[in-house]
Structure 1
């Protein structure tokens, strides 16, 4: 395809095509993006072809060998992210001009805060909705490293993550804590062992261990006990499943394990030695400064947890 500077100005149609292009790359191909875009594969293909014609560049390879970006496509993708970030920034500035807060607040979460007695995110949402009823919510669940990256690149406004290896690009505001303990499931060799036994006497390294597949306090705790991870998960739900199988040791938040403990499905392993506490914080970008709606939601989060932080230290 001849590389000619065809694009002189951007229209709404161009921006829509660019958004389709980004979604296709994020999903990894036309077929995979059908559900996300809610349009057919042939229409998606036409949108990409239209964008290629519009800018005079071949953006991707598609065929029997699969979907992949061309070198030019990689560069256009970077530029597309910058463009949409600039548009979002412009919209945020406009939102700041309005007397009433509007727009969308993009919140990221990692932990199961709905069952954590020390987490009062729901109270913050209630308070924020009273103050800013015209602001819509988008909530994403992802591992901490993903959430931190998305707050840094501006695709999330704010997130709540465990404090671990803090980024210099982010501002961390402590909110609440979560206590973690090593558990095993019914049928595991340690299930009937006295919980008062010391971890050093149990030779934990001989047992299969399931843990998160990303840098986290969970990973560090397992390493400190000399356990080698034989199963990797991204979410606590998967971790609970492996522990309940009776074949793996793994860490659960005590508030998550409570239900399984009542059923007799899991049991703590040397809790005095294996337990640890994780602090959770709200994170926002240091630069550029957060918009008004993000600052307001952060205020609501702090207010919802004020006076409780010291209670759970």
Structure 2
């Protein structure tokens, strides 16, 4: 298995693999790369060993990619495209970026996403240490207004109702599950004991924004008698033992481990939650936006 971070040797092997795929076999790739066929074969064997699976079939039947081979080819193209993006960005700047660079988040981030956002900030700072980075929070409506008025360069929030003038790129996706705490009377009941009628009468929390079709279908099954947009405040309401509510598993993993919270009917009561990187389509500071997009591509 290729280690993280990817090494220079891994990149060398992946470049050989791209040439093999694009030239339709070892012999043609050998000519293009200026290597012998046996050297190509050794590189390919080393790459497959490091990955832990076969990438291509070669023999009398001819050359063909395995399913994993097609995925690795696609991922490798994206990887080397990102290097090209970086080179184009740095080459096009020609001077230090200065002033403020503002990123606004609408969600409380769990530890994993906080770490990735830290990598975004690290990337930006290392490239342009003179930039004054502003990382702050706010509601989706507030962030949309800041983006459209160009008081912020980018926003990180779930995109359910896209606006004209803004561009959206999905950077993260995870599943949201229906939860209750140990204080709730459902906690001791099995999923088979919990009927649709019982779920429909129990007090539950609305997330406070319009969500996708799957999410609305889930909410329509419940008695929505409270509202909480932020994950941390929603968790507090669930911990009261008086409400059911939807939260991502990553956000409640500690509670699941210590038995103070449970997920209800995980195969039925769930929907997908996506975070998007959002920016104004036409901006006065395109170079800062390029930098932000590259940093998020690098981290996420």
TM-score range, shorter chain: 0.5 to 0.7
Alignment of 1:34-183 (within 5 A): 99-116=95-112, 120-183=116-179
Which residue of structure 2 lines up, in the alignment, with residue 251 of structure 1? 246
Aligned pair partner of 2:255 in 242, 256, 260: 260
Against the structure 1 CA distance between its residues 134 and 198, is the aligned structure 2 distance closer, same or farther, given a 3 Å change threshold?
farther
Tell me what 1:212 maps to. 207
Q: For this pair of structures, how many residues does the alignment match? A: 209
Other-structure match for 1:278: 273
TM-score, reference length from structure 2: 0.63
| Pairwise CA distance, 1:243 | 0.4
Instruction: Specify the alignment match of 1:233 in structure 2.
Output: 228
SS in structure 2 at match of 1:272 = coil
Give distance in 2, aligned partners of 1:167 and 1:119: 29
User: Once the 2 structures are TM-superposed, how far is the Cα of residue 182 of structure 1 from its aligned partner?
Assistant: 0.6
Cα 1:251–1:139 change in 2 (3 A) is same
Answering whether residue 295 of structure 2 is matched by residue 300 of structure 1, we say: yes
Cross-structure match for 1:13 = none
Unaligned runs of 5+ in 1: 1-95, 306-313
Q: CA RMSD in A?
A: 2.7
Q: Deviations over 1:19-64 (max 9, x none)?
A: xxxxxxxxxxxxxxxxxxxxxxxxxxxxxxxxxxxxxxxxxxxxxx
Does the CA contact (< 8 Å) of 1:211 and 1:231 recur in 2? yes
Distance of 2:250 and 2:240 partners within structure 1: 19
Q: How far is 1:220 from its partner?
A: 3.8
TM-score, scaled to structure 1? 0.60
> Alignment partner of 2:267: what SS?
helix
Q: 1:263, CA displacement in angstroms?
A: 2.4
Preserved CA contact (<8 Å) 1:161 1:282 = yes
2: distance between equivalents of 1:223 and 1:114? Answer: 23
In structure 2, the CA distance between the partners of 1:299 and 1:106, relative to structure 1 (3 Å rule), is: same
Query: What residue is the counterpart of 1:93 in the other structure?
Result: none
State the 4+ residue runs in structure 1 displaced beyond 6 angstroms: none
**Structure 2 CA distance for partners of 1:261 and 1:202, relative to 1, 3 Å:** farther
